[in-house]
Structure formats: C-alpha cells, structure tokens
Amino acid sequence: MINDFGQIALLSIMSHLFFIAISWWALQAFRLEKLLKANHVFQARLLYILLAIVIGSTVSNFFLDYLQWSKQLPLILQNIKLVNI
C-alpha cells in the first residue's frame, strides 16, 4: 500500500511537470508583450511562468482526478451489483 503512494506521488509530479511544460509551450503562441508596458521584461517573464503553472496544474489535476475516478468506477459498479442481489 505504501508502494502505491509512491507511485501516485511520482505520477502526480510527472503529470504536473508535463502539463506545465505543455502550457509554457502553448503560451508562447500568444503575444502578451503587446498588452504589457514597455521595458517590463522581468514582469512579463514572471507572468508567463505563473500562467503556465496555473494552467498546467489545473489541467494536471483534472487528468489525475479523471484517472482516480476511472479506477474507482469498477468499485461503484461492484457495490451496485451487491445491493441488487
């Protein structure tokens, strides 16, 4: 059981990093510098990083929740069969 927690933790870390990287890549398509003030390079980079973290973490949490729910679904169906008997 403890070994399972380690696998879940590793999957969660890898999922978050993967989706943050994908979000970073996707955000490069936007020209946010047009909306920002001139000569505020540090703030623009920080905004890109924070947006990538927020979007990536949200997508990763959705993915991990969906994975967890799909693992639990057979247990729910098994309990329904037991109640009907």
**Poorest-pLDDT segment among 15-19, 41-45, 67-71, 74-78:** 74-78
Domain ranges of the chain: 2-84
Give 20's contacts (C-beta < 8 A, 6+ positions apart): 52, 53, 55, 56, 57, 60
Please compute the mean of the pLDDT values over residues 41-61 and round it to a whole number. 93
- pLDDT tens sequence across 2-18: 567 788 899 999 999 99
- Within 10 angstroms of residue 16's Cβ, the number of other Cβ atoms is 18
What rounded mean pLDDT belongs to the chain?
A: 86
